[in-house]
Amino acid sequence: MTVERYLRMIAGTFVLATLALGYWVSPYWFLFTAFVGLNLFQSAFTNWCPMMTFLRKLGVREGDGAASHAAAASIGHGR
């Protein structure tokens, strides 16, 4: 998986987990949900996200849109 896909997976997991925690444990967990949303919002404009930096340091590969699409098409998944 690429940095971008991991980022989407982690953000989605955080949002769902903190929504559940906010409902069943404490409404203060909704603040973390808001933090994730604001971080995603600002990264749309700055193209920088702390989690992406962390994932890159862990050695997760970068996604090249054209190369990834060509590789998927070559194995029959790029429709």
Express the helix, strand and coil content of the chain in percent, nearest 5 each: 75, 5, 25
Structural domain spans, the chain:
3-74
pLDDT digits (tens, 9 = 90+) for 7-66: 999 999 999 999 999 999 999 999 999 999 999 999 999 989 999 999 999 999 998 765
pTM reported for the whole predicted model: 0.75
Ramachandran class of 2: left when φ > 0, alpha when ψ lies in -120 to 50, beta otherwise: beta
Residue 34: what residue type? A
End-to-end distance of the chain based on CA atoms, in angstroms? 19
Give yes or no for residue 79 having a pLDDT over 50: no
Q: How far apart are CA 78 and CA 65, in angstroms?
A: 12
Give yes or no for residue 76 having a pLDDT over 70: no
- pLDDT for res 65: 61
- pLDDT for res 24: 98
